[in-house]
Structures are given as C-alpha cells and as structure tokens.
Amino acid sequence: RTPLPVLVLALYGRVFDKDPPRLGQGPRRFE
Amino acid sequence: LDALTVAVYEHAVILPNKTETLVSQDKCPVPYEREYRFLDRAIKHSAKQRNAQMTVTPEDALYGWKFSRETISLYLKDIPAPQVNWITCQNTQRFGYTPVQQRLSCLAKDNSIYVVANIGDKKPCNASDRQCPPDGRYQYNTDVVFDSEGRLVARYHKYNLFAPEIQFDFPKDSESVTFETPFGKFGIFTCFDIFSHTPAVVVVDEFQVDSVLYPVAWYNTLPLLSAVPFHSAWARAMRVNLLAANTHNTSMHMTGSGIYAPEAVKVYHYDMETESGQLMLSELKSRPRNEPTYPAAVDWSAYARSVKPFLSEQSNFPGMIYFDELTFIELKRNTGNYTVCQKDLCCHLTYKMSEKRTDEVYALGAFDGLHTVEGQYYLQICTLLKCQISDLRTCGEPVGSAFTKLEEFSLSGTFATRYVFPQIILSGSQLAPERHYEVLRDGRLRSRS
C-alpha cells in the first residue's frame, strides 16, 4: 500500500433533472 | 477491428492580437497558416510514423479565439451536412471556395487517417427566419471529421457555448452526431457540452457510442475542474473511450489532454512549464462494452444510504469552490470518520493518514445546489481536499502541492443521480494511478488494499 500525497478526492455529481432548460448563458448575458 | 490506435494533439495556438478590424478576403489564410502547419505535421507523424487511425486536434486550434462576430466571419465557410457525401479533396469547388475544409480533407486522404478538427460554419439566413441575427447569418463553433478517404463524415455545431464566445450563435436544436467506423461507433461534442445532458449524456446513453471525440479549449480551475482529472473521470463514469484534445496556453491555464478508456487512463499530458504542444498516442479497444474488463454500473448512493452518519463534535464551516458555497468539516486527526451534509446530500469519509503535517489542513466538503455563474447546472459534490493554507477560510481555494499522505480512504455520498464523476488529484496536479484506488459498485471511492 503506497500512501498518496492527495490534493483532492472528489465525487462530482451532476443532477440533470434539476437543470434549467439550457446550460449555457452565451453572449446575451455578457452584453 | 477489435482495436485502434488513436492520437490526440495538444496544440499551442498563437493568438493573434485582439482582432477587431476586418481584413480582406485575400488575407484570410494568414491567421491559421502557422497553426495549420503544426496540425499537418502532427497528423502526418501520427499516421506515417505511429500508424494511428485517427487524430483529434483541439477546439480553436486553427483560429484562436480573440475575435468579434464580424472579424471571424471572413474565415468561416458554409460546411455542408455529411449526408452530401463529399470528398472535399477530390471535388474542391462543389460547395464554393473552402480552403480549410479542402486541406483537412486532403490531409486525411493522403495519409489514410481520420482527422478531427474544430473550425467555424457560416449559414446565411433572412428575415423570414425570426431568429436570424441582424447581420443575416448564423455562425457556429463547429467540429468536422474527415475519414481516411477524405470524406466529410461528421459535422457538429457546439450546443452549449461558453459565455465569452460572442462570435458564435447557439444552434436552435441539439443534434447528436455519431458515425460508424470499422473500429466502433463514434460520437462528438465540444468543451462546455460535457456538463450538459444534451448532447453529452444523450450520445452515450441513447446512441450507445463506443468512443467520444472531444476537442476542447479548457482552462483548468482547481480543485474540481481541471481538464485531465475531470475528463478521465467522465470516461470512467460514462464507460466510454474519450479522446480529449486541449488547446495549450499556460497563461490561461489551458493544458491537459488525454486518451481515456472506461477502465483506465491510457495516456495524458499536463504541462504548465513550457509553451510547447504535445502529440500522444494510444491503442484503444474498439468496442469496450464487449470487453471482459468493461466496468460494471455503479449505484452511487448504495453504500452511503446504508450507513448512519458519523457524529462529530466539530463545527461545520462554509467555503467556496468556483463560486459555490460548500459546507466543510475539518479533519483533525491522523485517522477518523466524518460526515458532512448540505441539503439532501450527506458525504461520508473514512481515512487514515500516514503522517498528518501540522502545517497542512484537510477538510471534507459537501455541496448540493444550482451552480449559476458561467452556466446554470445542478451539482452534488462530496470532496476531501487540502486547504490552501492552515487558515480554514482558504478551504476550496486552488493549491498545488501536498506532503501529507493518505494511506486509506473511503468516500461516498447519498447522491440523487447516477452521473457521478470520481476524481483523485495528487500533489503536482497528477492523477493517481488506478492500481491505488477503486470505485466499488456501491458507490465508494476507496483506496485499494
């Protein structure tokens, strides 16, 4: 067993059911 | 064919000065001439010297990205749908003057290799289309694939534009772009699309592709959104091959390309020290679903829902990761069990450190909420991370090195989704080799014993 110099452990979950209709904000948001 | 050799090229694009003035048509080839030479050399080398059957090049690799809508328009041409069955290299004028498509097609044909590139598509429209932009054209960030005969076999319009891409339009509808080859079924999408159900999940779950082609211009944001850890985790969790070609630009933290199989990282490249590009190659199984090594599906919440939360007298505290506020708890000792919860998500950690350094602080964090900054997408995150300095207010800030070592760990969470991407990042932003950890079918990310 080799000890590991860990910076990050992560379980990164995406819950698509709770997303708004479209992911990107696009140009309009930045205008 | 049971296997194929693929190449991914991380290209260090030279950005033009911010291009705000229009140039004449006869100067069009100039901005991408140098970039094309690099791609040409990498593709020829991968085909002739290394017998690759496909080379993937990055998003924005030919043009860069410092454009307005008007200045990029002169470099864009109409790219027809693959159904027209066009070998551009043989029939160069069929759809007008298309020098970039022609060169890519000939490169593919002359070297008998599939070529994947990111360029731009321009489609005229008029007032009868109520969504037609005022300048009378749609402009799309576009991936193209030419097969080994030089035929255009795929054209993909990026569906989820990243916020600064003001030079491009959103496609009205999503389309799942796939194509068959002698070495499996392929899908394709670009960069920010990976966060979205459409097209990323759809192309894998509904169209059952074997491999995904993935040109990106991805800037790394530690701790959770660095290209190599995130993309390799995506391939593992979605159980497909992923060929990720990133643009190389260290000033914008853009580096990190790789060839990822469901069961293992085949090769990856991460370089924040030089301004050079990198070609990498690997063999992949053509149809990973048919292999005995194909990983089983994971029930990501099975273990976490079956155990009682660990009790602690310590207080929780807030911390930010990329504009999201997590709930953290500090890991005080060399060994321990902790649970931290936010809304409906509880994260459990069991760990053993071989020697916890007094100047390094670690924390376990949970996030359950809608991310709303550069896009809107719902996240559930469990993470153990090293804080930037010993001040707890820095937990979640990017950090590059760690000296404390973990001997054992088990991380799990009560996720309400089957789309969970497991990452382990080591000191120096390196990936942990697979022999050191495993993902169990009950959803635990665990050190291997």
| Residue B18 and residue B66 in contact, taking contact as beta carbons nearer than 8 Å | yes
- Provide φ and ψ at B122, rounded to 5°: -125, 125
User: Rounded CA gap, B430 and B255, in Å?
Assistant: 13
Instruction: Give me the pLDDT at residue A25, please.
Output: 53
Instruction: Give me the pLDDT at residue B250, please.
Output: 96
- Provide φ and ψ at B393, rounded to 5°: -65, -10
Instruction: Give me the pLDDT at residue A31, please.
Output: 27
| Residue B258 and residue B232 in contact, taking contact as beta carbons nearer than 8 Å | yes
Using a CB–CB cutoff of 8 Å, tell me whether A28 touches chain B.
Answer: no
Judged by CB atoms closer than 8 Å, whether chains meet at A14 and B447 is answered as no
User: Rounded CA gap, B165 and B170, in Å?
Assistant: 10
Alpha-carbon separation of residue B93 from B90, B102, B155, B298, B354 (angstroms): 9, 9, 19, 51, 67
Cα–Cα nearest to B319, from B400, B388, B221: B388
CA B187 distance to own-chain centroid: 14
State the catalytic residue, choosing from B10, B35, B59, B165.
Answer: B59
Burial class of residue B141, CB neighbours in 10 A (0-12, 13-18, 19+) = buried
H or E element at residue B328: strand B324-330
Which amino acid would we find at residue A14?
Answer: R
Alpha-carbon torsion (B81, B154, B376, B66), positive or negative? negative
Judged by CB atoms closer than 8 Å, whether chains meet at B378 and A7 is answered as no
CB contact set of B311 (below 8 Å; sequence gap of 6+): B339
Q: Which among B370, B376, B445 has CB closest to A11?
A: B445
CB contact set of A20 (below 8 Å; sequence gap of 6+): B370, B376
Using a CB–CB cutoff of 8 Å, tell me whether A10 touches chain B.
Answer: yes
State the catalytic residue, choosing from B77, B109, B122, B158.
Answer: B158
Alpha-carbon separation of residue B303 from B134, B292, B299, B423, B439 (angstroms): 55, 25, 8, 18, 12
Which amino acid would we find at residue B183?
Answer: F
Digit-by-digit pLDDT tens for chain B (449 residues) are: 899 999 999 999 987 665 545 555 544 445 678 899 999 999 999 999 999 999 999 999 998 888 889 989 988 999 999 999 999 999 999 999 999 999 999 999 999 999 999 999 999 999 899 999 999 999 999 999 999 999 999 999 999 998 788 899 999 988 999 999 999 999 999 999 999 999 999 999 999 999 999 999 999 999 999 999 999 999 999 999 999 999 999 999 999 999 999 999 999 999 999 999 999 999 999 999 999 999 999 999 999 999 999 999 899 999 999 999 999 999 999 999 999 999 999 999 999 999 788 899 999 999 999 998 888 899 999 999 999 999 999 999 999 999 999 999 999 999 999 999 999 999 999 999 999 999 999 999 999 97
Residue B162 token pair: 């990243």
* Residue B158 annotated among the catalytic residues of the structure: yes
* Residue B341 annotated among the catalytic residues of the structure: no
Q: What stretches of B239-332 show up as alpha helix (H) in DSSP?
A: 302-306
H or E element at residue B376: none
CA of B53, closest CA in chain A: separation in Å? 33
**Angle at alpha carbon of residue B12, lines to B11 and B16, rounded to 5°:** 125
Judged by CB atoms closer than 8 Å, whether chains meet at A11 and B347 is answered as yes
State the catalytic residue, choosing from B10, B35, B106, B191.
Answer: B191
H or E element at residue B75: none
Instruction: Give me the pLDDT at residue A29, please.
Output: 35
* Spatial strand order in the sheet of B3-10: B152-157, B137-146, B114-124, B54-56, B3-10, B278-285
Tell me the β-bridge partners of B11.
B247
Cα–Cα nearest to A14, from B343, B237, B289, B349: B237
Alpha-carbon separation of residue B328 from B1, B255, B325, B402, B443 (angstroms): 49, 29, 9, 19, 21
CA of A19, closest CA in chain B: separation in Å? 5
DSSP string, B294-316: PPPP--TTHHHHHSPPPP-SSPP
* Residue B59 annotated among the catalytic residues of the structure: yes
| Locus of tokens 């665990």 | B446
Instruction: Give me the pLDDT at residue A27, please.
Output: 42
| Residue B143 and residue B60 in contact, taking contact as beta carbons nearer than 8 Å | no
| Locus of tokens 């037609």 | B132
CB contact set of B177 (below 8 Å; sequence gap of 6+): B143, B154, B155, B156, B187, B188, B189, B199, B203
Residue B151 token pair: 């035929």
